Amino acid sequence: MISKPFSFLAACMTAASFVTCATAGDLPPDNPFASPSPLVFQTPQFDRIRDEHFRPAFLEGMRLQLAEMDAITAQTAEPTFENTITAIEKSGALLTRVRNVFSNLTSSHKNDALQAIETELAPLQAAHSDNILLNRSLFARVSSLWDRREQLGLTTEQQEVLKQHYEGFVRAGARLTDEQQVRIRALNEKISLLETKFEEHLLALLKERSVVVDSVAELDGMSELDISAAAEIAKARGLSGKFILEISNTTRVPILTSLNNRALRQRVWEASAYRGLGRDGGVDNRPLVLELAKLRAERAQLLGFDSHAAFKLQNQMAQTPAAARKMLTDLAPGVMERVRQEARDLEQMVRASGATHELAPWDWEYYAEKLRKARFDVDESQVKPYFELNSVLENGVFHTMNLLHGVQFRERTDLPIFHPDVRVFDVLEKDGTRIGLFFFDPFRRETKRGGAWMSSFVDQSGLLRERPVVVNTLNIPRPGAGEPALVSFDNVVTLFHEMGHGLHGLFSDVTYPSVAGTNTPRDFVEFPSTFQEDWAIQPAILANYARHYKTGERIPAELLERVVKASRFNQGFDTLEYLSAAILDLEWHSLTPDQVPADVEAFEAATLKKYGVHHPAVPPRYRTSYFAHIWSGGYSSSYYAYIWSEVLAADAFAFMQQQGGATAVNGEKFRREVLSKGSSRDPMESYKAFRGAAPTVEGLLIRRGLK
């Protein structure tokens, strides 16, 4: 997942970073945001940054950027690309500095002070965006360039930058009447407040819905390391002698695979699946969701679109909700048939165990793990000792990036960090030249939202002579004191996935920051990351990092083979829980304001049945009340992008295997044609430049074990 900070261009792209060397006129010099950081690549001065620095830096940053926009419109010279578009690209240095740090901290290490600032600033940032994108004089200059674009002699990248700026103004409402613009401003302010509130609620829910267990006997089936970690969490919350099982950001909770106590499994699953519904007087996200759906639908109609989904997908690869929906529903029949077969297999396991109960959602992963073990003789507790976090990172992820791209990751401890868990690495070319910096923040904590994502503190730009500083954030369960961090194979794959995003930012090689790195359409941005996942199960690579944490012995070849085969197991379940969530997203955002229902849960159930993706034991990966991607994470109408991108990734990976696999030649071509380009040209052109042809779905079906 990509997590990008607010940008005034957020209406037309994922984010844009604008960094110049200007200083902040009215900001005290002791504020660390007042001038560019003197540290390498302008990495933030976390040892100096305090909560009280953010608010004044934001306010001054917005004031300065509006002054820069006024200077652009005050020019008497005819608009040129340089005096208008390049000037916009260079604007907002202070705002970018503070926004990039603030966005990352409010996601990964939020406290009450930051939350209060976030709530206060949300409407101000929305208004700031509107003050730029609804500026008629500024739009007139951009529009003049757009009308004369064929005569300007622009490079391919400049053409794309101009196109995105022009469309950004139009999509924000620059051509609306004054009265309509007043309404757009009000809608944007309200939407930003609700999105911020939803994000706050999610963090509260992770703690609210944690399951407290009184005795170790109830944890039968869990490993000693997991039990120790649960005890440590309880102790940290003042519950010594008890145990706390934390829920994940998804509906499924990994610990369900090992809990023998069915009643406790049900408690854990329900704690996850029913969050945000206001049960037992807890946090209720349903009013937020319904209001967001209505406001987004109204805004889309005001901008001339049938729905929010139509608005969001216009400038994506899919282009229309119908195209995205068709891809999902075309997969549904085959996936449902696989799920029904998997369910029959699990029901047999239930009966074989002597139980008589029906297969429930809290049973699926438990019995699936038993079936996986029986079918492939792979036990998670047997495998985990070979997946020690540091080995996976250095001997797996970093090793693979070296094979493909020749880069090295060299840890350094001389730079300030925002939490003791964080590690920092120089990223180096073969000749030792620094590419950028990589921050790594692996462990779950109460101040961090769920999930895994990549973001950046500094984006690459040739125009601004900036090198990238990126961060990968995960939620791996923290081990007990003195214990090794042994990770699940799912987390292994996540490490490779997020590094794919990281490389997309690190290898960016464009001139203009608005098209750099991961600033691409949502249904393309997950392609480079998903592509990297499959290296995790390549036998030669897996054998290099899968070493027993005590003995250092490599994972036995026979066990390795079973692990790889088992990774294709349960794909019907995995695919269906994703499909149902993606369909829910599109359905919510295809509504008109009048069509938004009053009952969230009834709408969910009706939608899943309508599209043939309902199965009583396989809930959506995210239910509406905690679907962070679409309500606060920037993926509204775009959750389908993961599988759309997976089509590209599976096809590209199969092609690279045909060309010799993890070779420097293949890696260099992927870096040159895909990773370095951002959105400086049409994404499909980048794909074809690497692959030589458009993708087919064949690789996806094989990748998911559906063919």
Q: Using alpha carbons, select from 573, 90, 591 the residue that is nearest to residue 337.
A: 573
Backbone angles phi, psi at 611, to 5 degrees: -100, 10
Residue 255 burial class via C-beta count within 10 angstroms: exposed 0-12, middle 13-18, buried 19 and up: buried
Residue 675 CB neighbour total at 10 angstroms: 23
The CA distance from 242 to 183, in Å, is 53
Annotated active-site residue 365? The verdict is: no
Q: Write out the H or E segment, with its range, that includes residue 286.
A: helix 286-302
Q: Using alpha carbons, select from 316, 49, 13 the residue that is nearest to residue 161.
A: 13
Cβ atoms of 144 and 493 closer than 8 Å: no
Cβ atoms of 197 and 119 closer than 8 Å: yes
Q: Write out the H or E segment, with its range, that includes residue 172.
A: helix 156-172
Q: Which residues contact 581 (CB under 8 A, 6 or more apart)?
A: 620, 621, 622, 627, 639
The dihedral of CA 279, 203, 629, 487: what is its sign?
negative
**CA angle, residues 531, 533, 535, in degrees to nearest 5:** 95
Please tell me which residue in 498, 526, 533, 587 is annotated as part of the active site. 498
Where b means 16+ CB within 10 Å and e means fewer, 80-102 reads bbeebbbbbbbbbbbbbbbbbbb
**Two tokens at 45?**
């001065």
The CA distance from 583 to 640, in Å, is 8
Please provide the DSSP assignment of 288-305 as one string. Answer: HHHHHHHHHHHHHHHTT-
End-to-end Cα distance, the chain: 27
**Two tokens at 471?**
């961060």
Residue 110 CB neighbour total at 10 angstroms: 18
Q: Which residues are catalytic?
A: 498
